[in-house]
Amino acid sequence: MEHELIELVLADTRERMAKAIDHVKGEFSAVRTGRANSALVENLDVDYYGTLTPLKQLANFSVPEPRLLVVSPYDKGAMAAIEKAITTADLGLNPSNDGVVIRLSFPALTEERRKDFVKIVRTKAEEGKVAVRGVRRHARQELDGLEKEKENGISTDDVKRVEAILDKMTQDEVAVIDSLLAHKEQELLEV
């Protein structure tokens, strides 16, 4: 099974599955847990002198207390634009601007809101699993195409062995998503 084309398919599949896992992690970090977390706001687009710019390029973040996020803009002239971006993002946060920094106080989550967030993360986890399975399906289609091209020397047995490897990779990545989901649910339901 030391076939270069098969190795390329497997390497591409590993890379795509890793990206799917990273995407799920990013989606999870954007769901707030009642604790201050810069991931919630750092990718907000701010209208910075006519250009939409991610907030993380315009400010520094700190968490002096568990429920307080402090946004320190590099350019004090961008304060109003940053405040507007946070307000219009509908995150349930009210920015407090003192002219130097913007403070975001994270209110405690109600039981109902926590359950809503759990539903959201479960949906995002399922989307991640679908993405991983889609990567597997794509790899299988590539293998089928390689098998049909008789001149490259890939046999049906080679394809079956690689499909077993793909199934194992898929199961492992789905297990990682399940583990991330369990951790996030625990984090959300923690009072």
Domain residues for the domain of 158 are 4-30+110-189
CATH label of the domain that carries residue 182: 1.10.132.20
Domain boundary among 90, 105, 120: 105
Domain boundary among 46, 80, 105: 105
Whether the pLDDT of residue 71 is over 70: the answer is yes
Q: Is 57 helix (H, G, I), strand (E, B) or coil?
A: helix
pLDDT of res. 151: 73
* Domain match, 46 and 77 both: yes
Mean pLDDT on 132-139: 95
* Domain match, 26 and 52 both: no
pLDDT of res. 114: 84
Give me the numbers of helices (H) and strands (E) for the chain, helices first please: 4, 6
pLDDT of res. 144: 86
pLDDT of res. 34: 67
Q: What is the pLDDT of residues 94-106, one digit of tens each?
A: 888 888 899 988 8
Mean pLDDT on 33-51: 82
Q: Residue 171 corresponds to which amino acid?
A: Q
Taking a C-beta distance cutoff of 8 angstroms, is the pair 185, 34 a contact?
A: no
pLDDT of res. 1: 41
Whether the pLDDT of residue 122 is over 80: the answer is yes
* Domain match, 101 and 114 both: no
* Domain match, 24 and 56 both: no
* Domain match, 183 and 129 both: yes
CA torsion sign, 153 to 1 to 130 to 34? negative
* Domain match, 140 and 120 both: yes
Average pLDDT over the chain, rounded to whole? 87
Count structural domains, the chain.
2
pLDDT of res. 191: 62
